[in-house]
């Protein structure tokens, strides 16, 4: 009986120590732009960070769980070394980061599922 309690205690300790998958952030990088979700530990928020000093905007394209057929876009028009954040909503199920290139194809990451 003491062995069962000891094993249960170990399992409980490991479960508390390990982070849950919903708290782990996933990132995608396209050109000099990085998109990250969950943002601020909220699975319904995404951020776009522009680390490209090229004068072009960055964006994240993403889908939410409750509207899986609707492509959404979060733009960061604020420039180099800035971040834009979405409002909270239903869980983001897949996303990609893109560095917008005027008059040329955008530099985009592949799709990522958080």
**Closest by Cα among 39, 35, 25 to 59:** 35
CB 58 within 8 A of CB 74: no
> How does pLDDT run across 10-53, given as a tens digit for each residue?
444 444 344 444 458 999 999 999 999 999 999 999 999 999 99
Q: What tokens were used for 83?
A: 């971040």
> How does pLDDT run across 41-51, given as a tens digit for each residue?
999 999 999 99
> How does pLDDT run across 79-114, given as a tens digit for each residue?
999 999 999 999 999 999 999 998 899 999 999 999
């Amino acid at each position: 009986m003491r062995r069962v309690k000891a094993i249960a205690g170990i399992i409980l300790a490991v479960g508390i120590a390990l982070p849950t998958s919903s708290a782990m952030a996933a990132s995608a990088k396209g050109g000099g732009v990085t998109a990250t979700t969950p943002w601020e530990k909220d699975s319904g928020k995404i951020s776009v960070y522009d680390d490209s000093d090229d004068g072009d905007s960055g964006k994240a394209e993403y889908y939410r769980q409750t509207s899986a057929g609707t492509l959404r876009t979060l733009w960061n028009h604020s420039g180099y070394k800035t971040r834009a954040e979405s409002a909270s909503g239903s869980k983001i199920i897949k996303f990609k980061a893109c560095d917008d290139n005027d008059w040329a194809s955008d530099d985009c990451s592949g799709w990522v599922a958080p």
